[in-house]
Amino acid sequence: MEYRGFQRTMAFFGALLILISTALVLVSTKNVQEVVGQLLFFIILIGALLYGKRGGIITAILASVIYTTLHFPTIISMGIAPVMPLILVRTAIYCVAGPLGGEIFSRIKQFMIEAGRSDFVDNDTKLFNGGYFGTLVDMEAKKFERYNTISSIVLLTVDNETIEMYLAEPKTPGIKYIADGVVGNVRLVDEVGIIDRNVFGVILPFTPREGAEVVAKRLQSIMTSRVGYDESVSYEIISLPADKERLDKLAATLAPEA
């Protein structure tokens, strides 16, 4: 099973479990705040599935704020003491479930990549190699042709001279250090590959050019700081539908030889 299939499965069964638990809360308490509080776990589930630990943390905080806001009428009329235990317990559960779930999903994705696609993974970085990344690019093109879905691809290139100097340094953490910086700052739904030892690619499903520009600048800054040389990283954005021809050429260039 690919990770996207795993995501869909987890989203389905997670939503089913949340709905069942919400129904039990409704039957037992008939408390609107607690019912909504239970449904907020769905936001955390999606955040963790798509964005990993960072997404889990952000959605856990958001859920805590929403849940606390639901109790404002009670706080105003009776003070905070009656609802403080409920808020603290629910916040604690959110703040454990979000980061922990995101971390688990991140590790599952990495395991599935390494175990299930060992022929398609670059040994040094544990990213998809150029050939398989080309296959993924081609899949994005086909999805656009079939469903007219938008997406973007970011290509990040470290200057050749810079990468040579970086790798020649005795104490350099190596190319995986740069790769980890990229992987750690994209969504779990995004795909990351290494096309050459100085060129990284990131596929951003359902992301327009404007969103890709934000991601590209963030990754450029992170990679530059890890390489240690200013203005050493450049980027190119290929977005659908505007750059369909460029995307097709990229897929053809990276396609593995038969």
The pLDDT, as a whole number, for residue 113 is 64
Residues forming beta bridges with residue 194, ordered by sequence position: 200
List the structure tokens of 143.
Answer: 């999805």
| 116-151 confidence digits (pLDDT tens) | 555 788 888 888 888 889 989 998 888 888 888 899
Taking CB atoms within 8 Å and a gap of at least 24, the contacts of 10-18 are 10/45, 10/49, 10/105, 11/45, 11/46, 11/49, 14/42, 14/45, 14/49, 15/42, 15/45, 18/42, 18/45
Q: Which of 91, 104, 163, 133 is nearest to 253 (CA)?
A: 133
CA distance to 36, 185, 220, per residue, from 53 (Å)? 23, 11, 22
Contact 133, 87 (CB under 8 A): no
CATH number for the domain running over 120-254: 3.30.70.270
Contact 52, 103 (CB under 8 A): yes
> For the CA atoms of 99, 140, 148, 182, what is the dihedral angle to 10 degrees?
40
Q: Which amino acid is at 230?
A: D
Q: pLDDT grade, residue 1 (50/70/90)?
A: very low
| 26-55 confidence digits (pLDDT tens) | 888 888 899 999 999 999 999 888 888 888
The pLDDT, as a whole number, for residue 194 is 93
Distance CA 123, CA 108 (A): 18
Rounded mean pLDDT of 172-200? 89
Please determine, for residue 164, whether its predicted confidence score (pLDDT) is greater than 90: no
The pLDDT, as a whole number, for residue 221 is 95
Taking CB atoms within 8 Å and a gap of at least 24, the contacts of 143-146 are 144/240, 144/241, 144/244
Which stretch of 39-43, 169-173, 216-220, 245-249 has the lowest confidence by average pLDDT? 169-173
Rounded mean pLDDT of 77-82? 86
The pLDDT, as a whole number, for residue 3 is 62
List the structure tokens of 128.
Answer: 């998809």
Rg of the chain (C-alpha set): 22
The pLDDT, as a whole number, for residue 258 is 44
Name, of 25-29, 87-91, 185-189, the range with top average pLDDT: 87-91
Domain ranges of the chain: 3-116, 120-254
Q: pLDDT grade, residue 228 (50/70/90)?
A: confident
What region, left, alpha or beta, does residue 228 occupy, with left being phi > 0 and alpha being psi -120 to 50 degrees?
left
Residue listed under structure tokens 């740069």 = 178
The pLDDT, as a whole number, for residue 238 is 95
Taking CB atoms within 8 Å and a gap of at least 24, the contacts of 88-91 are 90/37, 90/64, 91/64, 91/67
Of 60 and 29, more confident:
60
The pLDDT, as a whole number, for residue 257 is 55
Q: Sheet holding 199-205: strands in order across?
A: 191-196, 199-205, 151-158, 233-240
E strand or H helix at 74: helix 72-78
Q: Structure pTM?
A: 0.68
Task: Compute how many other C-beta atoms are within 10 angstroms of the C-beta atom of residue 9.
Answer: 11
Q: Which amino acid is at 35?
A: V
Contact 186, 202 (CB under 8 A): yes
Contact 67, 33 (CB under 8 A): yes
